[in-house]
Amino acid sequence: MNFDRNTVLGFVLLAVLFFGYFYYTNLEQAAFNKAKARQQFVQDSIANSNRPLVDTPAAATAVAKADSLLSTSAAGYFVAASQGVEELQTVENNKMKVVFTNKGGQVKSVTLKEHAQFGNAKPVELAATSFARFGYALNTGLNRTAPSAELFYSFQGVEKKSDGTQIISFEVAAADSAYAGRIRHQYTLYPADYRINLQLDFDSPAQLFTQGQVPFLWQYEALKQESDIAYEKQNSQVGFVEDGAFDYFSIGNRSAVDFTKPVGWVGVRQRFFFAAMEAPANFTSGQLNWVLPPDSAGSVVKATAAMKVQLPASGNPTINLRFYFGPADYSILKKYDNEFEKIVNLGQGAYTFVRPLNKYIIVPIFDFLKHISRGNIGLAIALLTLIIRVLTSPLIYSSYLSGAKMKALRPEIAKLKEKYGDDQQTISMEQMKLFREAGVNPLGGCIPALLQIPIFFALFSFFNAEIALRGAAFLWANDLSAYDAPIRFGFTIPLFGGHLSLFNFLATATSFLISVYSMSLSPDQSNPMMKYMPYIFPVFMLFFFNSLPAALTWYYTVSNLITLGLQFVIQHYIIDHDKILLQIQENRKKPKSKSMWQEKMEQMQAQQKKLKEMQNKPKR
């Protein structure tokens, strides 16, 4: 590879794209910080305004008693259900353990059997905080309303089907027979599924809900599950399907979204885990809002979905909902055929163009490699790297072949510079003529490199979203989804961090070796920019890749080692430099026809030369 100005152009474009990506990422991080500060201010203000005037045990008891009386009063005809003792029911399938509570007849917590919490062997728990709840506001008579989540339902038992399906039922009824309000919650848990179906049956819905609208409220809190909560927040999103189209927001960019069109589902993804509430018949309208607790709270995001469903005008209607609590696994989510899988970031926003590359190539290949490597994710990544480099080897060969041709023309280009001195316009025109006669494409060296950029961005998205990397140990890395940090400094270096990623160091070192080897094949460069440009990317990598997932830096290390091998083999055993020189000489003997683009370029250069001559012509 020869580092002429076209190669430099390739490096510049590559650097611009990388800097653009990380600038965009930094903007998102700034938005996180701003949103957290704003929301913390609001929470502190609310807490201060709600703080009792006398902060004593007696005052706290009085407040609790007042709340209880208020709750009993609001319960109206459901007053008998306003008081009770919480009872829990645990139901399990192959994937998870679900705890139900009679208070609100709802899910209390979900434990995922196949996924462990960071730093210990305990299973991951979702929807397991006091903030998490599900319910709806119902009319309780005498112009009163009460949240269903505060009523105590009667547990009706668990029905087990022969296929392993389990049905869990709760029921609550009004105390006054004149107010015929009876509500049934029937949950269905399938043998090997992360989705929970809920069927709600309402007697006399006209009494229970105003204008036949059921106002559902679903609250979900995503607790920290990864080692770096700041990075986890940066890779967390809220998503939804409105009017049949999927959309999403990074949790730091906004704090609420209003829905005026039918909504299929709303959900929260915290990098590797996903929770969602779905209405097969669609919610008619609603709002989703969220807040970012401080990192010290150990909570990624608190989200509240207030969604409405329109009941039929007559009869005793049934509403069906579905809840998903499980991994944000693309292969699992796509099976539901409701666009759940789009919440997995295989390429979003400005980088949506790489999603097909991940969806149809990277993901299937990686799934196959996981299987044949028997769960050794580091080995699977190395094999994936090898396959990618083999598939892109024609681009590498094309790049080196173009470099060899440019190198063969160096002596003649040097003669042109010696002949025309500082007349850059004439030199450019003569170089274009020389390239055309020799059959050389001056952009041939940088175009193959640019074509590989989508692969980088595809893998960057993939390695941030692939749940198989989570907790996967390889060599000295304990978790390939996070940065490896075998060396910690005890202090923080700006733009670098408080650790050294050894995989990143190896990737940087091998990138530097590629640059040194490539420069050794090129003639001496007189332009300092051209001389030092190839070394900029390794320095850039050292700083900006230090806190990226170890899977990505391991991929780059393997990729660079393969590149060094290919570079040596192609340069010494495949490319015949003498044959290239003879071919160029033969091409120069053949008659050449100018393309329209070449004619336009030469006309423009001629005009520029003429204009420059007129400007330099002395006035009389």
Task: Find how far residue 292's CA is from the centre of its chain.
Answer: 18
DSSP string for residues in 75-116: HGGGGGGSS----EEEEE-SSEEEEEETBTTEEEEEEEEEEE
Nearest residue to 457 via CA among 597, 294, 348? 348
Residue 80: CA atoms inside 13 Å, Cβ hemisphere, count?
A: 12
CA distance 72 to 495: 57
Identify the H or E element spanning 248. strand 245-250
Give the contacts of 159 (CB within 8 A, at least 6 positions apart). 166, 167, 169
Report the top-level CATH class of 52-344: mainly beta
Write 20-23 long-range contacts (CB < 8 A, 24+).
Answer: 21/351, 21/457, 21/460, 22/544
Termini Cα distance of the chain: 50
CA dist list (Å): 462 to 26, 215, 240, 276, 450 = 19, 38, 21, 22, 20
Question: By the 8 A CB rule, do 548 and 507 touch?
Answer: no
CA distance 317 to 253: 39
Domain positions in the chain are 52-344
Q: Which residues of the chain have pLDDT under 70?
A: 1-72, 177-180, 313-316, 400, 402-408, 424-425, 434, 436-449, 451, 518-534, 574-578, 580-581, 583-585, 587-620
pLDDT of residue 204: 78
**pLDDT for 143-181, tens place per residue?**
788 899 999 999 999 999 999 999 999 999 887 766 667
**pLDDT for 539-579, tens place per residue?**
888 888 888 899 999 999 999 898 888 877 777 776 666 67
Amino acid occupying residue 221: E
Cβ-count burial of 607 within 10 angstroms (0-12 exposed, 13-18 middle, 19+ buried)?
exposed
Question: By the 8 A CB rule, do 484 and 48 touch?
Answer: no
pLDDT of residue 261: 95
pLDDT of residue 219: 96
CA distance 362 to 67: 55
CA distance 349 to 464: 15
The torsion angles phi and psi of 106, rounded to 5 degrees, stand at -135, 175
Does the predicted TM-score (pTM) go above 0.85? no
pLDDT of residue 51: 43
Question: By the 8 A CB rule, do 405 and 580 touch?
Answer: yes
CA distance 141 to 212: 15
pLDDT of residue 178: 64
